[in-house]
Amino acid sequence: MKSIKKEEEKIKPKSKKMSVAKVGDVQRLLQLLRINQIELEHQNQELRIAQGELEVSRNKYVNLFDFAPIPYFTLNFEGIIKEVNLIAGKMFGVERNKFVGRRFITFVPPEERDVFNMFMNTVFNSEEKNSCELKVMNKDKRMFSVRLEGLELKDALETERKCQLALIEL
């Protein structure tokens, strides 16, 4: 019988009372958690506001780029078209989505390609806006005399080097 009682005592959960110090620690931790929760809710609200402002700014940029009266292209370092506005598509007779991924030099006649390549080198090796005059051709091989104005785009968030070109018909 004694051994059964000893075994029962081993199985019984031993109730431990929290000391006053431990209760105080738990209360402080709960208070800190509440404070942190409030701070996180404020930061979350600030992020939502910043995200909304960013969306408005992005939409303004897209509208300015797309509806500008001058053809604009964004090219990477290799001369591949990354972005193009609506008027450029109209000028070249090419749907805008069919420009992206193509080399801009395909719209430059062979006798003008050296001028274009030197211009692109200058744009990517300069901090200033550069320009040159040359001919470009649309999809129907119709020639346009244009002044190209180009500037390298500096974006800390993107690693790919890009430039923006404006075409001003002469």
DSSP state of 80: B
The strand order across the sheet containing 143-153 reads 81-84, 72-76, 162-169, 143-153, 130-137
pLDDT digits (tens, 9 = 90+) for 79-122: 999 999 999 988 998 888 888 999 999 999 999 999 999 999 99
Of the candidates 66, 84, 103, which is a domain's last residue?
66
Place of tokens 């992020």: 47
Query: CA dihedral in degrees (168, 144, 120, 73; nearest 10)?
Result: 60
Q: Is the domain of 78 the same as that of 162? A: yes
5 in a structural domain: no
Mean pLDDT of the chain: 86
Number of domains in the chain: 2
Q: Is the domain of 140 the same as that of 100? A: yes
Task: Give the domain range for residue 29.
Answer: 19-66
Q: Is the domain of 62 the same as that of 92? A: no
* pLDDT at 34 > cutoff 80: yes
Q: Is the domain of 74 the same as that of 101? A: yes
Global pTM value: 0.67
Q: Is the domain of 73 the same as that of 132? A: yes
Predicted confidence band of residue 56 (pLDDT cuts 50, 70, 90): confident
